C-alpha cells in the first residue's frame, strides 16, 4: 500500500496482480475469485456444458486430431473442470488454464497451467470475465472540458485529476469513447484491446470468445463503471489489494483491435458481437420450464428439469448475466452458414 498518487492502471495492476495482490495472494483470497463474486461459471454447470458444445462443434469443423481448449483468466480452473466433465467420449482435448494465480491443488492433471496463452494452437479460446480485470487508465473531463487522467491514492482510494489525456490514449477516447461535459468519465480500454488481440492471435485456427459486462459506442455509461467487489458485495474501488477492481469492457473496441491484428497476420477471421442470452440459446440453454405433465410421469426428472430451468433463467436473465456481451472471432475458418 502506498500514499503515492498514481494512474488507475498502475495502481490496479499492483493491487490485483502484485506479490500481495488480490488475485495473487492466497491469504487475501483463499477461495479464489469465487469467494468474492459469482460468474456464470459458478452460477450453473449448464454454462460449462454450453462451452463443451461449442468446443465439440469447433472440433467437428476443424477436423483435426487434438483440439486445444484455452481458458484465459481461468480462476481456479472451474470452467475447464466442468467442460472436461461434459465432453462426449472420444474427443481428444488439450486443456490449458491461463492464469496469474498459482495452480490450485488437486486440479485435473490433464490441465496445463500457464502464464500466457499457448502460441499456435487450434481449437477454442474462451475468456469469461477476464477483460474486465485488465487494468485501464480512467479519464475525467475537467471544468474546461479537457479529459484528464484520474490519479488515485492506494491507501484510501481518494482521487484527483492529473495531466490531460494525450497520445494513443487520446486517440482511443476520440474513436471509442468521446467525452465532452465536465465530470464525464471513461475507462480507456487500450490495454484490453491489446490483450484481446494477442489472445486471439495465439490461435492458428478455431474460435476465440470473450464474455464480459460490456458496452458499445453510442451507449457508454457517462461516468464509467469502475467498481470494487469483496466477499460477494460491491464496494468502493480502493486499490489497496483488499478488493477486486473491475470495469465493464468496450467489447466493440476489442473486436476491432483483434480483427485488425488477425487481418495483419494474414489469417482470415469473422467477428460477431452478441449477447449471452442469444449465445446460450444457440447452444441449447434456455429458461423454459418443463411441462407439468412430466411431474406425474417422471417426478424426479421433473424436479431436475425444473432446477435446470431455474439455472438457465439465471444465466440468461435480463438485468443480469443474460446481458453480458459475447464477442466471437472465427479464425481461419469459413464464414458460418
Ligand atoms: C473475474 S476472474 C474470472 C475467473 C473465471 N474465468 C470465471 O469466470 O469464474 C478473472 C481472472 O482473470 C485472471 N487474470 C487477470 N489478468 C490475467 C492475465 N493477464 N493473465 C492470466 N490471468 C489473468 C485473474 O487472476 C482472475 O483469476
Q: How far is the CA of 264 from the centre of ligand 1 (A)?
A: 27
Q: What is the DSSP letter of 304?
A: H
Substitution candidate for ligand 1 out of 12, 21, 30, 33 with most atoms within 8 A of CB? 33
Q: Is the CB of 212 under 6 A from ligand 1?
A: no
State the cell numbers at 192: 484490453
State the cell numbers at 149: 487522467
Which residue puts its alpha carbon closest to atom 24 of ligand 1?
73
Q: For residue 261, count other CB atoms closer than 10 A to its CB.
A: 18
Distances (CA, A) of 163 to 12, 75, 111, 150, 188: 19, 35, 45, 8, 15
Distances (CA, A) of 256 to 9, 39, 200, 260, 263: 22, 26, 12, 6, 10
What percent of the chain has pLDDT above 90? Answer: 81
pLDDT digits (tens, 9 = 90+) for 99-110: 999 999 999 999
pLDDT digits (tens, 9 = 90+) for 123-172: 999 999 999 999 999 999 999 999 999 999 999 999 999 999 999 999 99
Which residue carries 475458418 as its cell? 333
Which atom in ligand 1 lies closest to the alpha carbon of residue 17? 25
Nearest Cα to Cα of residue 108 among 88, 91, 93: 93
What is the C-alpha to C-alpha distance for residues 112 and 107, in angstroms, rounded to an integer? 10
How would you classify the pairing of strands 147-153 and 137-141?
Answer: antiparallel
Which atom in ligand 1 lies closest to the alpha carbon of residue 23? 25
Environment class of residue 145 by beta-carbon count within 10 Å: exposed (0-12), middle (13-18) or buried (19+)? Answer: exposed
Substitution candidate for ligand 1 out of 128, 130, 212, 243 with most atoms within 8 A of CB? 130
Q: How far is the CA of 300 from the centre of ligand 1 (A)?
A: 37
pLDDT beyond 70 at 60: yes
Substitution candidate for ligand 1 out of 32, 100, 114, 117 with most atoms within 8 A of CB? 100
pLDDT beyond 60 at 87: yes
- Partnered with residue 269 across adjacent β-strands are 331
pLDDT beyond 70 at 270: yes
Which residue puts its alpha carbon closest to atom 21 of ligand 1?
99
Q: Which of residues 295 and 7 earns the better pLDDT score? A: 7
Q: Which of residues 173 and 262 earns the better pLDDT score? A: 173
Mean pLDDT of the chain, nearest integer: 94
Q: Is the CB of 41 under 6 A from ligand 1?
A: yes
Contact 101, 23 (CB under 8 A): yes
Contact 241, 20 (CB under 8 A): yes
Nearest Cα to Cα of residue 224 among 319, 323, 139: 139
What is the C-alpha to C-alpha distance for residues 103 and 96, in angstroms, rounded to an integer? 11
Residue-level pLDDT at 20: 87
pLDDT beyond 90 at 305: no
pLDDT bracket for residue 205 (50, 70, 90): very high
Which residue puts its alpha carbon closest to atom 27 of ligand 1?
75
What does pTM read for this prediction? 0.95
Main-chain dihedrals φ then ψ at residue 288, nearest 5 degrees: -70, 135
Which residue puts its alpha carbon closest to atom 4 of ligand 1?
75
Biggest alpha carbon–alpha carbon distance for the chain: 71
- Coil, helix or strand for 245? strand
Amino acid at each position: 500500500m502506498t500514499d503515492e498518487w498514481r494512474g488507475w492502471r498502475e495502481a490496479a495492476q499492483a493491487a490485483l496482480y502484485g506479490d500481495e495482490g488480490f488475485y495473487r495472494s492466497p491469504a487475501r483470497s483463499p477461495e479464489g475469485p469465487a469467494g468474492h463474486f459469482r460468474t456464470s461459471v459458478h452460477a450453473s454447470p449448464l454454462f460449462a456444458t454450453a462451452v463443451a458444445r461449442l468446443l465439440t462443434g469447433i472440433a467437428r469443423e476443424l477436423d483435426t486430431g487434438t483440439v486445444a481448449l484455452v481458458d484465459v483468466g481461468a480462476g481456479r480452473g472451474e470452467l475447464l473442470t466442468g467442460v472436461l466433465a461434459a465432453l462426449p467420449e472420444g474427443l481428444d482435448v488439450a486443456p490449458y488454464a491461463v492464469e496469474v494465480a498459482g495452480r490450485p491443488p488437486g486440479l485435473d492433471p490433464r490441465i496445463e497451467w500457464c502464464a500466457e496463452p499457448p502460441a499456435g494452437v487450434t481449437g477454442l479460446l474462451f475468456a469469461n470475465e477476464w477483460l474486465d480485470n485488465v487494468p485501464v487508465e480512467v479519464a475525467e473531463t475537467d471544468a474546461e472540458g479537457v479529459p484528464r487522467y484520474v490519479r488515485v491514492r492506494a491507501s484510501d482510494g481518494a482521487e484527483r485529476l492529473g495531466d490531460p489525456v494525450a497520445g494513443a490514449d487520446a486517440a482511443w477516447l476520440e474513436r471509442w469513447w468521446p467525452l465532452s461535459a465536465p465530470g464525464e468519465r471513461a475507462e480507456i480500454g487500450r490495454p484490453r484491446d491489446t490483450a484481446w488481440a494477442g489472445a486471439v492471435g495465439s490461435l492458428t485456427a478455431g474460435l476465440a470468445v470473450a464474455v464480459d459486462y460490456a458496452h458499445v459506442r453510442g451507449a457508454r455509461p457517462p461516468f464509467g463503471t469502475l467498481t470494487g467487489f469483496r466477499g460477494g458485495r460491491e464496494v468502493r474501488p480502493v486499490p489497496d489489494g483488499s478488493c477486486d477492481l473491475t470495469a465493464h469492457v468496450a467489447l466493440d473496441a476489442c473486436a476491432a483491435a483483434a480483427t485488425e491484428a488477425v487481418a495483419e497476420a494474414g489469417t482470415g477471421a469473422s467477428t460477431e458481437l452478441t449477447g449471452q442470452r442469444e449465445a446460450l440459446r444457440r447452444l441449447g440453454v434456455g429458461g423454459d420450464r418443463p411441462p407439468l405433465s412430466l411431474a406425474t410421469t417422471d417426478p424426479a426428472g421433473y424436479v431436475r428439469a425444473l432446477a435446470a430451468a431455474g439455472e438457465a433463467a439465471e444465466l440468461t436473465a435480463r438485468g443480469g448475466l443474460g446481458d453480458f456481451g459475447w464477442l466471437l472471432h472465427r479464425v481461419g475458418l469459413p464464414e458460418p452458414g
